[in-house]
Amino acid sequence: MTLSSPDSIHSGTTKGRPGRPANKPQEAETPPAPGVASITHLASKLAEYLTPAELKKVKEAYRFSDEMHLGQVRKSGEPYISHPIAVAEICADWKLDAQAIMAALLHDVIEDQDVKKEELIERFGAQVANLVDGLSKLEKIEFQSVVEAQAENFRKMLLAMASDVRVILIKLADRLHNMRTLGVMAPAKKRRIAGETMEVYVPIAHRLGLNDIYRELQDLSFSHLYPMRYRTLAKAIKAARGNRREVVKKILDAVKNQLGAAGIEAEVYGREKTLFGIYKKMRNKHLSFSQVLDVYGFRVVVDTVPNCYVALGTLHALYKPMPGKFKDYIAIRKINGYQSLHTTLIGPYGTPVEFQIRTQEMHRTAESGVAAHWLYKTGDQNMSDLQQRTHAWLQSLLDIQQQTGDSAEFLEHVKVDLFPDSVYVFTPKSKIIALPRGATPLDFAYSIHTGIGDHTVSVKINHEPAQLRTELRNGDIVEIETDPNSRPSPTWLSFVRTGKARSAIRHYLRTINLNESVELGQELLSQALGQLGIRGELSSVTIEKLLAESSAKSMDELYADVGIGKRMPALVARHIFGLMDTPVDALPTQPSATTELDPVTIYGSEGVSVQLAPCCLPIPGDQIVGQLRRDQGLVVHTGDCSQAKRLQGKEPDRWIAVQWGNELNRRFDCRIRLLINNEKGILARVAAEIGESDANITYVGMDEDDEHMMTQLRFTIQVKDRVHLAHLIRNLRRVAGVNRVERERT
């Protein structure tokens, strides 16, 4: 992914500040090319809502930008100044304030023309300068990789947005105009910029409720990513438009008459689904175009919230509703503030027709999102619900930044939170919490407060005990139980969904368990070096070279990175081998019998840097293998674990040999499953036998086995080793009413 601007490639000028000819008047405007945005048109838009004094400042910003971009030409041949004017016009459509319009006009002068931020502060004030700075990429900083540079640019933009939402509004306007004029670029660049837009800017527009831009950016990106598919689908839509015109008119007339008869004043109009929306439905549901029946939808805009529900009943009396196709986003609004009633009805000729019913205020928010509410102008006391939601999300970006080690990781966390699908759950006090689809109780806990997440021990969902990895569903009531002595576990990273939860857990594991990670990393690296025939202490010269090339500040930091899986011990060892002036041909591709060290020894009590995989729960006596997982350290699986076998095929370099130690003074979790006759006292007899076999029960569950017409009991128990488990299973098989006992794997 590259965070770039199509306008970064110019012709007719070079980077640097062009000088304006001395005989050119400062007030003169660069003549616009035909069809190109001009300051005159922009000024007429701004005059509708800005004061004369504000308009004067905007024109000053225009003149400065025009001077700085003098001689600079876009790929299309237009004067470059046409681009900042067009961006400012989009911002003017949202009626953004004078400072935002000035920043839109100046948004490329730092990046392209080497203007200093201090000069902008002196000329236009600190707020305008901060906005422009937040929009400028970090081209002057040297990064180790392209990916790191891209991630850092994105991080800077989002953090600037967290302090002032106008940054992202101007950036989205900038990206929208660039996408509208992308046709002159080379195909490869078009695809790259369109892919970045679809991956980053489309989700941000959706998250902020900017649905007009969201839909247009989607379609523009689609047209450049898949031009043939876009053209084919556009042609099919055009043909269908004529065929379905009669159906659309019939529905419109019927709905207007029905609402009028009910005494409801409403605006009713049809709307065509976006090309990308139709394409996504065809792809996800494996449909041909002719099978997509709901290409058209209808929108009903009324005056009050009660009339939304009255209109809904009126429509249901006109056409039959499809079961399970009604959604009330008025009672429970979407995470981006969107509100409407959605219902799908069986229209004329048996065609499904979707209706959206909303008020004028809801419609304004649905189309313009946070741009319809001047978040940056109001204090916390006066914030609307949408503003508060947006403010909370922006603040969460700052929380993630404080807990995150690098820009790439920050980008990974934030992108997780940009997915549009959401689930809505309740606190015990009936407060609604919106989380990404697939979120767990731990995500819920961290969304309330990092301290609650860190100390979570158990959860109740709808007043019933549940596992921390349970996937939450709409309407669940979630109650978190905490313990001051509880701490995050690396296994949590395998199922938490939100960026805030992941960054908080990783932050804890990095800081609190540093010593454990250093010790494990040292052992793993020693093993990898031994397999290459390198033994003993490394020379100071080799260490100095290694630290310089790996960007680690010390050997302890390098060991810690290896211990938490951030660096692969085999790759680090081969790097060290190369630094020792050994010919590359001498590097063994496979460990030899004479150089191979003993496997890493596992005692089960190493702390969180070594964990037993929850999928197979290995116990002493099992054959085991070790997986190095990023930020989770060493994860131990049983040798026959199906999940481990799948992962080994994908990342073979992350697996190392491990073995059980001889002195294991603890109990290990293990899952067993019993098939029983559902008779009186059976559970008590089974539990008593487990206790008499010197095992401890930590979890019990029960469900019906439809295939065998019996009941299954599931236990998580604690045993010493495989021999202890075998003894327990033999004893359970003798219990009356127990038909089968087996160790359970997932």
The alpha helices in 114-226, defined as continuous H runs, are 117-124, 126-135, 146-163, 166-180, 187-196, 202-207, 211-225
Give the DSSP H or E segment for 323: strand 320-328
Q: The tokens of 590 are what?
A: 């496979």
- C-alpha pair distances (Å), 457 with each of 375, 394, 445, 460, 491: 37, 28, 11, 11, 13
3-state secondary structure of 383: coil
Q: Which residues have CB under 8 Å from 589's CB, separation 6+?
A: none
- C-alpha pair distances (Å), 239 with each of 19, 251, 279: 54, 20, 16
Q: The tokens of 555 are what?
A: 């050997």
Residue type, 718: Q
Q: Which residues have CB under 8 Å from 557's CB, separation 6+?
A: none
Q: Are 157 and 414 in contact (CB under 8 A)?
A: no
Question: Closest Cα partner for 629 from 655, 604, 657, 650?
Answer: 655
DSSP state of 198: I
Q: Verify whether residue 111 is a known catalytic residue.
A: yes
Dihedral (Cα; 479, 482, 487, 490), 10-degree rounding? -10
Catalytic one of 7, 111, 409, 476: 111
Q: The tokens of 339 are what?
A: 């509100």
CA distance 60 to 77: 25
Please count the other Cβ atoms lying within 10 Å of the Cβ belonging to residue 39. Answer: 22
Residues pairing with 73 in the sheet: 11, 79
Q: Which residues have CB under 8 Å from 541's CB, separation 6+?
A: none
DSSP 223-286: HHHSHHHHHHHHHHHHHHHHHHHHHHHHHHHHHHHHHHHTT---EEEEEEPPHHHHHHHHHHHT
3-state secondary structure of 64: helix
Question: Closest Cα partner for 265 from 298, 304, 318?
Answer: 304
Catalytic one of 7, 108, 112, 443: 112
Residue type, 204: I
Q: Are 369 and 208 in contact (CB under 8 A)?
A: yes
Q: Are 616 and 638 in contact (CB under 8 A)?
A: yes
CA distance 96 to 170: 9
The residues carrying an active-site annotation are 111-112
